Structure 1
Amino acid sequence: MRSQFLCAAAFALQALAAPSWTSTPFNPPSIPLAVRSPYLNTWLPQGQGVALNDAWPSFWAGRITAWVGFVRVDGISYTFLGAPVVDGANFTKATQKSFSFTSTQSTFVLSAGPVDVTATFLSPVEPTDLVKQSIPLSYLHVSVASTDGATHSIQVYSDISGEWVSGASEWDIQWSTTTTDILSHQISLVSPAKYEEISDQSQYGNWYYSILNGKGASAQIGRDAVVRAQFLNNGVLSTVKDNNFRAIADSWPVFALEKDLGKVGSTAAAVTYAIGHIRDPAIKYVLAGNVKQDRSLYFWSKYSTAQQVISFFLNDYSNALASANALDKKVETDAAKISPDYAGIVALSIRQSLAANELTISKNAHGGWNTSDVLYFMKEISSDGNTNTVDVIFPASPIFLYLNPKLGEYLLEPLYRYQTTGLYPNKWSIHDAGAHYPKADGHNDGTDEAMPVEESGNMLIMALGFARAANDLTQIRRYQGLLDQWTQYLIEDSLIPTFQLSTDDFAGQLANQTNLAIKGIIGIRAMAEISKLLGDNAKYTNYSSIAADYVTKWTTLSASKTGPHLTLDYNDDASWGLAYNLFSDVHLGLNLFPKSLYDQQTAWYKTVVNKFGVPLDTRHTYTKTDWEVWTAGIVTDQGLRDTFISSLKAYLSNGLNNQAFPDLYDTITGVALGFRARPVVGGHLALLLL
């Protein structure tokens, strides 16, 4: 038995001491374990350091997703994963020796008596393979090798609990086990609710925990203490079936898989587990005429059953590992050119950012899969839960520009399509495609969260950026009328923005926002560049002239009369903020704003650096991690750029936080203020674009 309260209390005690193991490149606030989709999103909270077998893994929102691992060595059992208590059975905790993470993997090495256990959690990143990237499965690879020169009899055990299935433990679950080429547990709710969530966990679909079947493999379902004691006492699981479907918290049913590795010496032997959540349909999307369309994950175009895709996934581990290692190396090489601290920040960001997204396709009139109809959907994790929020896609956009810009276009496509139906009544860009994931049912009443300059500017800037990076004009040509409509709005309202929200909506509404005006002006110039790409030189000249004129006027409006810096809002001379929207001017090579402005802001930011970074603006001492990195991309002094990065790394490694990469924190205390597991951390790849 266990509770959230007890787990939190245990964490608080463990967080008092620094870890005894080595952590490479550093110990983050939380370690990604299985982080592959909005629902397959489990972490190991850290603080100052929690071993893999010191605490329960948890869903990004904080709820326990119990995951247990034992290794039995010559009849003596050790736990390497999770924090189980098993009455009537003896085991000891393996000793964690090291932990490391890359862009795709989290690896733990633990000593279990005369052997080392290496547990590698691999969440694949396959940005150019739409089938593989859409598979909502993740690996746990457990290898064991002798450290004393002798051979040892080894059995490996792992289980998951029903807590993965729902955000409420009183819900009844049901289960079955497949025994073909794979040994696979399937778990689901007895009464699923399509497209619904509880505490951000999906209320429909099936969970799977699987290994390859064969000699030495066994499976069992039952009460947690009973099943675990069976392995600990016997080294093999029982064939006794538990068909008493019940609530998640009723005698805590667990779903266990065991593999006898036989005699193992200094050459490692291993077993690979696959965990995942498969639901169909995945997304509800609104079409013209307010028709609702069910959309499915892309991988269904190749595999007709869950068992087929799981079998492929398990048999493909060596290829997945090779691909992951290649990507890890590329990211490390590119990011290390900035600094080692930056390389670690980028590596911690990639799985988290991509896991918020799902690739979907539709069916054609004959019932076949239409793989030319690709729409990518993003959940605004931990803030509003919206679907395809424009001002969340925008800060995340560097990850797509770096890995595969077509993914960025697939993210924008649902927004474009909906707004061309005429269902959305406003003349500016919509804020999101649906109030709550996984429903992309639009805002036909036009009452979505209004950020007119923000979202219109974002869409225009991303339209240009993705078209250039993908070297494909198809999308901007198709939607040039909509892009032009948003540009006309920016001409009306971006130089002197009315009282409204920007993407930093948590800070409240404000009129005459200096940084928001920057975005609007760049948006107008982006449309000039789009027009040029499409061969409309008259529009290029017109929009370029308007943007240049606005920059001249903005320069006067935004300047502080009492200090050499930009204001937060016009005529508020003592105010200032991070002018992160200038990054698009630099990245797109527009050269709209004079170099002297960048030099001025560089000098100013040097005077306002706190222990853990530069505040977002003068209203608070907090900051945003994505905007810090974007600001690091516009400063003209490498030393200051490196200060932004080192301050961010200091925040991530200070041991004061235990959530998945929180992107809002206090620059004085280094304490996270919310916004965890969000896709905006993809914006940390911004410096790789310059």
Structure 2
Amino acid sequence: MKLKYVAIAVLLCQSLFSSAQHTPVKNNLRAPAFPLVTIDPNTSAWSYSDELYGDVVRHWTGKTFPLLGVIKVDGKAYRFLGKEEIELEPIARMGEDDHWKAPYTEKEPSAGWNTLAFDDANWQTGIAPFGTKDKESHAKTDWQEPKIWVRRIINLEKDLAGQSVYIEFTHDDDAILYVNGIEVVNTGNRTGKNNRVKLSDEVVKTLRKGKNIIGGYCHNRVANGFFDFGLFLEREGSNHFDQEAKQESVDVQATQTHYVFDCGPVKVKVSFTAPMFLDNLDLLTRPVNYLSYQVESKDGKKHQIEFYLEASPNWALNSPLQESESSEFKNGSLQYVKTGSKNQQILGNKGDDLRIDWGYFYMAGDQKNTKAMIGDSHDLRNQFLKSNHVFQSSVSGKQLALRQSFSVTSKYSDKILLGYDDLYAIQYFNENLRPYWNRDGQSTIEKQFDLANKEYSKLIKASDQFDAQLMQSAIKAGGKEYAALCALAYRQAIAAHKLVKAPNGDLLLLSKENDSNGSIGTVDITYPSAPLFLYYNPELAKGLMNFIFYYSESNKWTKPFAAHDVGTYPIANGQTYGGDMPVEESGNMLILTYAIAKAEGNAAYAKKHWKVLSTWVDYLVEKGLDPENQLCTDDFAGHFAHNANLSIKAILGIASYGYLAEMMGDQQTADKYLNQAKSMAKKWKTMAQDGDHYKFTFDQSGTWSQKYNMVWDKILKMKIFDEDIRTTEIKYYLTKQNIYGLPLDNRQQYTKTDWISWTATMADDKETFEKFISPVYRFMNETVDRVPMSDWIYTDKPKRSGFKARSVVGGYFIKMLAEKMEKVK
């Protein structure tokens, strides 16, 4: 009878849900970048411009993932997606492609060092790229000092006046570049990879036949320095699709991005959909997204329509210079085009600024109405413009395209499926693992496409429902601006992970530390990301932690605190990060283990890992109250001791262990550690007190910092710290806010947006919460940096300090999690 009542309740909930408003509240946020195709860290494509046709589609790293969409209406072509990419010829290649030599110095030179006349005879000679060289670095010259100056001489065979010339550069951190003594780049305090700047006519006029010079300066402020630059010339060539559709709107929802265009006599709606539902792991990991469209006649007349979608082999290559192979074929009801690298080195590359170059990228459409084309981009585009239905395809061609033709009097809808088969996804302690969707090796990419095609209508409806529900829940919890941020964060956070199944059967949800160092399974990336997964599926929160427990329990990691990571993506064979974060990572693991127990209503997961949790908690008891000089998750700010916020994490980690013991029925152990945590919290209050607020470090009066770790005391109802600490801090923070948010601490004007959402959640009312969130919304809406959401931004100007596309924006969901946990006993 119990099962029967459960089934009735489920049906009732489904009925109520389906009868709810399925149209989400429109997201009015002008995103820094708009998610288009989001599968995993490798297959992650974004629009970096306000209009979908305003720029080339890009991978999250910023490298081009060309995807060109054109709709022809009664013979007139309108480009609605992507841009015909500028083709560049190298004048002086980047070091990643050509290890160029140049004089350099790490001691500040005299004036004129960036001109041809300067005498650099006493400088050293190095090979690019320059960087802090270690086993994970691609640097060829080891650069350990804070600053470096490089002189690169370039011999030109002719004058370049009147031509379009670009300088490309990668820098960590500050960079200034000069061409023939003229400053052309000055980044300020930030990092960047493969940035490209067009040189002014004034500068180009100086590029004459014979010797020229690029002078480069870089300042590495903390760690992992890197410097590389090159010069490129735009190839002459004509565009085929100059006529742009007129974009009327864009709307980013959790699982979909919707666009509406005016194309003369028809209106075109285009949606990119990734049905990433966290409670359905097979669907979550299905490596297929949808590009669906609807064409509507505005005048009721019949119009002849041709739809064209073209992609580049870049989708399956790390560098466009790699050789690729493409093909077209039919399978089941679908027509496919496929591309991949000629040299398939499975799991052959690891690192941060890399794209996958093994496995295959696919596009597919219904056989009945889809034609496949492979060849040179100019030939393909000309054939489409001429309505040539006799396609001359070549497997050696650089581009692949699908074309659909139909007529419309009222409305017509269709779709194209895009997907990626990475064959093997992760190497886990020397064993190659398949992606979760093919964990037993019994599926194929064609089966996944076939399922996606058959379930299309159902999944679009489910995506609409999910998007509407998320917006409604987020608005209720934190307001419309908060909901907008959560909707934009959803796919970004999920697609920065890869789900696989461990040999022992554990779920492994492995993050890639995007745009910071490329680590895999970083614990202090897991910690801020976790609220999203705790909210929707605690099993996935366990998947963020299982590999760290295994690392210690297998004795592969023998230190008495939790590891920082398990490798460099996608190779998870053990920690590769150069420094430990003992208090940080141990506290993270303990707090999240208790959060899982609260979400599930039992401590079974903690019991499974009790021995190693006991080791970590004793480390925190010994070292956590007044942490030594060590890194925390905000490692970009450097080492520092006596960190009051880190101390909070240690204390709440100890309390978490005590509450877990209580849930397991061991009251003696519970009392011991809970009393320890409460005693430490009282000492913390005395040590950190600084008048109307609490210190950044215990030894420095007149300092302050966000105490975002204290949010768990509220969410998990621990009652370890006096409540007046939170209220005092919140009141003080409101006096320190800038136009784009609350700084991380008193040292710099930069902040972390995920931590702001945690700090805001410490407030006791929605109105105060929104006061902290509104500046973050404003930053995302106004930032000049067009990249997938950055979490490390300046609060006094609309620029990011660093980082993009990271999973930590899953931390925005902490306010929703707090609302949900409020109902848990």
> Does residue 335 of structure 1 match 2:488?
no
Question: Which of 147, 151, 154 is the aligned partner of 2:305?
Answer: 154
1:367-378 aligned within 5 A: 372-378=505-511
Q: Partners of 2:766 and 2:437 in 1: how far apart?
A: 44
| Identity across matched positions, percent | 29
Residue-by-residue CA offset, 1:459-502 (whole Å, 9 max, x unaligned): 00001111221345332111100001100000000001111011
Contact 1:167 1:197 in 2 (8 A): no
The answer as to whether partners of 1:432 and 1:448 remain within 8 angstroms in 2 is: no
Counterpart of 2:295 in structure 1 is 144
Give me the whole-angstrom Cα distance separating, in 1, the residues matched to 2:454 and 2:792: 40
| Residue 538 of structure 1: how far off its partner (Å) | 1.1
2:703 alignment partner in structure 1: 575
Please list, as runs of the form range in 1=range in 2, the aligned pairs for 1:554-633 lying within 5 A after superposition.
Answer: 554-560=684-690, 563-633=691-761
Whether 1:212 aligns to 2:366 is yes
- Aligned-residue offset at 1:83: 1.4
Contact 2:84 2:239 in 1 (8 A): no
Q: Does 1:492 align with 2:622?
A: yes
CA contact (8 A) 2:433 2:439 kept: no
1:231 aligns with 2:231: no
| Residue 537 to residue 448, structure 1, CA distance change in 2 (3 Å) | farther
Structure-1 separation of matches of 2:527 and 2:83? 39
Q: Tell me, yes or no, if structure 1 residue 293 matches structure 2 residue 431.
A: yes
What are the within-5 Å matches in structure 2 for residues 186-201 of structure 1? 186-195=338-347, 196-197=349-350, 199-201=353-355
Q: CA deviation at 1:59?
A: 0.6
Shift of 1:204: 1.1
2:420 maps to amino acid: H
1:437 aligned partner: 569
Give 3-state SS (helix, strand or coil) of 2:545's partner.
Answer: helix
Does the alignment pair 1:26 with 2:26?
A: no
CA contact (8 A) 1:197 1:203 kept: no
Which residue is 1:466 aligned to?
A: 596
Structure 1 residue identity aligned to 2:402: L
Residues 17-416 of structure 1 aligned to structure 2 (within 5 Å): 24-46=27-49, 50-84=50-84, 87=238, 92-180=243-331, 181-195=333-347, 196-197=349-350, 199-214=353-368, 216-234=369-387, 236=389, 238-244=390-396, 253-260=398-405, 262-266=406-410, 268-286=411-429, 292-301=430-439, 304-337=443-476, 338-361=478-501, 372-416=505-549
How many angstroms does 1:193 deviate by?
Answer: 2.2
Aligned to 2:542, the other structure's residue is in SS state helix
Contact 1:602 1:637 in 2 (8 A): no
Q: Deviations over 1:428-467 (max 9, x none)?
A: 0000111x10111013xx9752110000000000011112
- Which of 595-604 and 508-517 deviates more? 595-604
Aligned-pair RMSD on alpha carbons? 1.8
- Name the CA distance, whole Å, in 2 between partners of 1:470 and 1:58: 39
Amino acid paired to 1:295? L
SS at match of 1:564: coil
> Partner letter of residue 444 of structure 2?
T
Q: CA deviation at 1:376?
A: 1.8
Q: Is the 8 A contact 2:783 2:798 kept in 1?
A: no
| Contact 1:87/1:229 (8 A) holds in 2 | no
2:131 corresponding residue in structure 1: none
Q: Aligned pair 1:661/2:801, yes or no?
A: no
Determine helix, strand or coil for the equivalent of 2:800: coil
Separation (CA, whole Å) in 2 of partners of 1:90 and 1:650: 34
Structure 1: gaps spanning 5 or more residues: 1-21, 246-252, 287-291, 364-369
In the TM superposition, residue 655 of structure 1 has moved relative to its aligned partner by 4.1
| CA 1:326–1:449: 2 relative to 1, 3 Å | farther
Segment drifting more, 479-488 vs 205-214: 205-214
* Equivalence for 1:14: none
* Matching of residue 449 in structure 1 with residue 579 in structure 2: yes
SS in structure 2 of the partner of residue 387 of structure 1 = coil
8 Å CA contact 1:408–1:466 kept in 2: the answer is yes
Structure 2 matches for 1:647-686, cutoff 5 A? 647-686=775-814
Q: CA deviation at 1:297?
A: 1.3
Map of 1:512 onto structure 2: 642
State the distance in 2 between where 1:449 and 1:278 align.
34
**Structure 1 residues 211 and 472 mapped into 2: Cα distance closer, same or farther (>3 Å)?**
farther
Distance 1:134 1:471, change over 3 A: farther
Greater displacement, 149-158 / 673-682: 149-158
Distance 1:420 1:178 in 2: 48
Hey, what's the Cα distance between the residues in 2 that align with 1:472 and 1:144?
Answer: 52
> Displacement of 1:235 after TM fit?
6.0
* Paired letter, 1:172: E
Q: Distance in 2 between matches of 1:166 and 1:73?
A: 34
* Matched residues, number: 638
Taking structure 1 as reference, are residues 604 and 51 closer, same or farther at Cα in structure 2, changes over 3 Å only? same
Relative distance call for 1:336 and 1:23 in structure 2 (3 A) is closer
Cα distance in 2, alignment partners of residues 127 and 356 from structure 1: 14
User: 2:156 is matched with which residue?
Assistant: none
Aligned residue for 2:653, secondary structure, equals helix
SS of the aligned residue for 2:69 comes to strand
* Distance of aligned partners of 1:414 and 1:639 in 2 relative to their CA distance in 1, 3 Å threshold: same
Measured in 1, the distance between the counterparts of 2:545 and 2:40 equals: 19
Could you tell me how far apart the structure 2 residues matched to 1:333 and 1:314 are?
Answer: 29
Pair 1:549 & 2:679 matched? yes
For residues 367-393 of structure 1, the C-alpha deviation after alignment (integer angstroms, 9 at most, x for no partner) is xxx8x4422211111111111100000
Contact 1:23-1:98 within 8 A present in 2 as well: no
State whether residues 276 and 285 of structure 2, in contact with CA within 8 Å, keep that contact through their aligned partners in structure 1: no
By how many angstroms is 1:239 displaced?
3.5
Report the Cα offset of residue 602 of structure 1.
1.7
Q: Highest CA radius of gyration, 1 or 2?
A: 2
- Greater displacement, 494-503 / 85-94: 85-94
Aligned to 1:502: 632
Q: Which amino acid aligns with 2:433?
A: R
The answer on whether the counterparts of 2:783 and 2:799 sit within 8 Å (CA) in structure 1 is no
The answer (yes or no) to whether the contact 1:76–1:91 under 8 Å persists in 2 is no
TM-score (norm 1): 0.90
Gap change, CA 1:189 and 1:507, over 3 Å in 2: same
Distance 2:364 2:287 in 1: 13
